[in-house]
Amino acid sequence: MRYLSHLVEVLGREPSPVERHAFEVAWSEHCGYSHTRAYISRLPGVSREVNAGVVELGEGLVCVFKIESHNHPSAVEPYNGAATGVGGIIRDVLAMGVRPVAILDSLHMHRVIDGIVAGIGDYGNAIGVPTVGGQLRVSSRFRHNPLVNAMALGVGRGSEVVPSRATSPDQVIVVFGGLTGRDGIHGASFASRDLSGEHERINIQVGDPFAEKLLIEAFLQMRSEGLVDGAQDLGAGGVLMATCELMGKGGLGGTVHLDAVPLREPDMEGWEVLLSESQERMAVVTTPDRAGRVLEIAREHMLYGAVVARLDRSGLYRAVFGGEVLLEVPVRALLEAPAEEALEVSPPPLSSLRVSFGFEDESAAPIFSRYDYMVGNDTVLPPGLGPAVLRVKGSRRGVAVCVHSREDLAESSPYWASFVALFEACRKLVSVGARPVGVTDGLNYGDPDVDPLGLALTMRGLEDACRQLGLPVVSGNASLYNTFEGTPIPPTLIVGAVGAVEDVYGVSRRPPRGKVFRVGFEGFDPSREARVWRGMEVLRDRGCFLMAPSSFPSATLRDVLRSMGLSLKVLRPIPRGFDQTFLAVSPEGELEGLDLPWEEVGEIS
Amino acid sequence: MRSLDVAVVVYPGSNCDRDMFYALELSGFRPRFVGLKGELRGYPVIAVPGGFSYGDYLRPGAVAAREEISHRIREEAERGALVLGVCNGFQILVEMGLLPGALLQNEDGLFSCRWVDLLVEDASTPFTRCYRPGQRISLPIANGFGRYYRGGGDVRVVMRYVHDVNGSEEGIAAVANEAGNVLGMMPHPERACEEILGGTDGIALFRSMMEHLSSLL
Amino acid sequence: MQRFAFLVNVQLKGHVRDPRGETIRRVLKEEKGLPVERLRIGKAILLEVEALSEEEARGVVERACSEMLVNPVVEDYEVLAL
């Protein structure tokens, strides 16, 4: 066990087998963020208080969003790995108290792996949350380590948001949802292992989207009845992590009665109940007098539930099973995984930046037609042309969202790759008239013990880029050890960017017929970005349709235009680089007098 | 019970219920959600929305069709109430035997979400009287099991796909019962009521129902 | 050459969760009152193979299963001669 000596120091003795299991999970990279915590805490806007980040959209509306990876499970069992990835991120957003209204997926594979596409589609479609956009990157760099990152987004009123902590020793924690079995025991530590080695038989997590849909409705009803004081979804580390985080963030302790957890497999041992990663479960903080109604609502939704923990001021985490105390340790010990040293780095020269490899020009159109992108009746801009745009009913406002990464730049310069990824993601938002308001970061990296510098540079690039644009990183995820026989993936920082749209009725669903111009500057110089955004605003006001792809044309663009009855003529193809440009479809010479360089590159007819 | 009341039946797993509610409200109706233990008696209109009732775990619509509330739907249909089944709702009505045929997996085995062109073949039903016979319209589909199989029986075809979309027999997209008060359709009219969402050819369906009910007063 | 018919019964491995089966079982037991204690949903695949002997034909079916029909990570199967 990694950090074993540290554990011995913390406990003041050798750990018992259960303590070892528990800390292996709590201090795994997936739960403890040992290698990335220091860098994450430097990111602007980061708060450890919440599951998923919150940004304001205006008029009392808030947007909650987060991105999460499910790489290792998707490599072993693509369908269920991808499906449960969607399930997990949906619950993360749901736990904030708002209804999840959109899913985006960022897929990086060596070829389109049907199981992954089907897994995301079947789960997302069944729960009735539209998959409104995503990113498809096909490259042999991901042959043994496919990356599946799912982002979820919810919109609601600020007053609906629920904290992810307990606040009083009088409270109790109810766990409800599907039954608990042996799913994914040690999945959290499994996720931190190189895939070429022998792995013990892991109980693959299987998704149950029907139960998830019921969970969504049950939880929202509980929230609307004022029964939820705090909530956390059960993900990596199951009951252990959800309950100790709720306790710890509230400065409290408590006793978890594992016998109370409703089980699917009746012969489970205590530590298995504690660490099981059975899906579709949620932890709700409430008071004893309201717990009965919470359980009633769960039952009405065909779900199981029980009061599983009673809180106190002890600061200790106590887990009891079969009359025995299985675990009794300070809550803080579980939550404070040893932090690896962070490296101080400075921005390298821009001249080091270059494109190291290309992506297959695989059209994403056949993929996103397998996802219901319309359910909810809020999708204004469907997948394929740029960021997704969703309206908020009863308002003219809306939200724009996209996922983007530039791992093709990261081998030459992980720092600048993060910078470019963030700037390009925001350019996409600005292209539909949105004002960027927040970011979630999905870090996918190789081995930080072998290459700690690349990690430091990747995170520093994101930090500096966010500061320059004045954007908070409100949530995120880190997936490390994506290697095969020691070979890492290129550092892949996926940026999930969200923008506020003031008037969704001003967003066009389709380009007009007209000439396609490329506008902006060759090369990358962050100080020029503001001028590019101003140029985009000017051209939008003049009625141009804007897009901000990294290359032109793409198979996806051609397919999407064709499905609209339009065709594309290309005068000058633009290979993927890192220029600060965007495309403007101009019906009638709207570019006159623009103070940015521009050239004609094609025509839509 | 007022003449513009609509029951939107919600099964465990239904997920287009809120969209249907929203479209009905937009069209001037008074929709209400009715769950498994709810009351359907006297509703002039019953909408069975899309989604994944019971996860589509056995066959789409199979479990929902056998719930008590579905027997109540049948009773109201026999009393002449208008019953509109969309997507999973259509699958449920077919599993109930309230409409003929079966809905099988799409020919290519894939879920498909896109706008399709349709022909309104029968503009004499209470759901289609505001369309012209033979009118070409555009509505979105989103399903994995939309292939209509008629099985050699009599079918009152109300809409057909202009191009083959999923292998449906004779391109059948929407069917009604003989009396015309029960309509099942795979495309989603409730998603086609606002320009900002992509099209408004669904409005006429709800207006048809409105006019039909008004004509009964 | 002869035609040999087989039914391949594909089931999820015992330790893999089957949410579909669990849900349908609950409906049958809790709502319809049928004492069904276990229900797993798998696949039945009918194959007809041309070969010189049943042994050879069975070999073909085994190959089809291992190369494509069965996901060895989560599924088990048995081959029944018809």
Domains of chain A: 510-605 (3.30.70.1670)
Contacts A205 to C, Cβ<8 Å: 17
* Interface mutation target, options A182, A208, A263, chain C, most CBs of C under 10 Å: A208
- Report the pLDDT value the prediction gives residue A198, as an integer from 0 to 100: 40
pLDDT band at A48 (very low <50, low <70, confident <90, very high): low
Q: How many domains does chain C have?
A: 1
pLDDT > 70: percent of chain B: 100
pLDDT in tens, A554-605: 999 999 999 999 999 999 999 999 999 999 999 887 888 899 999 999 999 9
Sheet containing A545-547: give its strands across.
A545-547, A580-586, A514-521, A598-604, A568-570
Domain B5-216 has CATH 3.40.50.880: yes
pLDDT digits over B44-103, tens only? Answer: 999 999 999 999 998 999 999 999 999 999 999 999 999 999 999 999 999 999 999 999
Q: C16: domain CATH number?
A: 3.30.1280.10
Average pLDDT over residues A134-152: 97
SS3 (DSSP) at A65: strand
Residue A343 has pLDDT above 60, yes or no: yes
Q: Which residue has the higher pLDDT, A49 or A475?
A: A475
Contact C19 A77 (CB under 8 A): no
Residue A199 has pLDDT above 50, yes or no: no
pTM for the model: 0.94
What is the pLDDT averaged over residues A101-115? 97
> What one-letter code names the amino acid at A558?
R
Hey, is the C-beta of B93 within 8 angstroms of any chain A C-beta?
Answer: no
* Angle in degrees, 0-180, between the axes of helices A209-224 and C19-26, rounded to the nearest 10: 70
> Which chains neighbour B (Cβ–Cβ under 8 Å, 3 or more pairs)?
A, C
**Residue A347 CB-density burial (10 A; 0-12 exposed, 13-18 middle, 19+ buried):** middle
* C15 to A208: CB separation less than 8 angstroms, yes or no: no
Cβ-in-10-Å burial (0-12, 13-18, 19+) of C51 comes to middle
Checking if the pLDDT of A237 tops 70, the result is: yes
Q: In degrees rounded to 5, what are phi and psi of residue A159?
A: -70, -15
Interface contacts (A, C; CB < 8 Å): 30
pLDDT band for position A51 (cuts 50, 70, 90): low
Residue-range domain boundaries for chain B: 5-216
pLDDT of residue A294: 98
Cα–Cα distance list, A526 to A243, A419, A498, A532, A578 (Å): 43, 8, 20, 10, 11
- CA distance, residue A391 to nearest chain B CA (Å): 9
Distance from CA of A506 to the nearest CA of B (A): 10
Cα–Cα dist A439/A423, whole Å: 11
Chain A residues close to C18, C-beta within 8 Å = 206
Q: Tell me the CA distances in angstroms from A565 to A133, A559, A591, B202, C72, one per residue in order.
A: 21, 10, 25, 21, 44
A337 vs A318: CA distance, rounded Å: 18
Closest to A211 (Cβ–Cβ): which among C15, C16, C19?
Answer: C19
Token pair listed for A575? 């290979």
What are residue A133's DSSP bridge partners?
Answer: A104
Q: Is the pLDDT of residue B162 over 50?
A: yes
Predicted confidence (pLDDT) at residue A201 exceeds the cutoff of 60: no
Q: Which domain holds residue C70?
A: 2-81
Which residue from A121, A208, A374 is facing B111, i.e. has the nearest CB?
A121
Q: Please, are residues B12 and B54 in contact by the beta-carbon 8 Å criterion?
A: yes
Dihedral sign for Cα C27, C32, C38, C41, please: negative
Interchain CB contact of B22 with A (< 8 Å):
yes
pLDDT for position B200: 98
Helices marked H in A209-269 — which ranges? 209-224, 238-249
**Residues A176-188 pLDDT 10s:** 999 999 887 755 5
Q: Using CB atoms, pick whichever of A122, A210, A369 lies closest to residue B113.
A: A369
Of the given ranges (A250-259, A496-505, C13-22), which has the lowest mean pLDDT? Answer: C13-22
Cβ of C25 under 8 Å from any chain A Cβ? no
CB spacing of C19 vs A80 below 8 angstroms: no
C47 CA: distance to closest CA in chain A (Å): 24
Give the count of alpha carbons within 13 A of A73, CB side only: 31
Over the stretch A511-536, which tens digit does the pLDDT of each residue have? Answer: 999 999 999 999 999 999 999 999 99
C38: chain A residues, CB-CB within 8 Å:
none
pLDDT bracket for residue A205 (50, 70, 90): confident
User: SS3 for B4-36, per residue?
Assistant: CEEEEECCCCECCHHHHHHHHHHCCCEEEEECC
Instruction: Note if A199 is an active site residue.
Output: no
Which chain C residues touch B if contact means CB-CB below 8 Å?
19-20, 23-24, 27, 31, 41
Model pLDDT, residue A200: 46
Q: What is the per-residue pLDDT across B170-183, written as a single tens digit (0 to 9) for each? A: 999 999 999 999 99
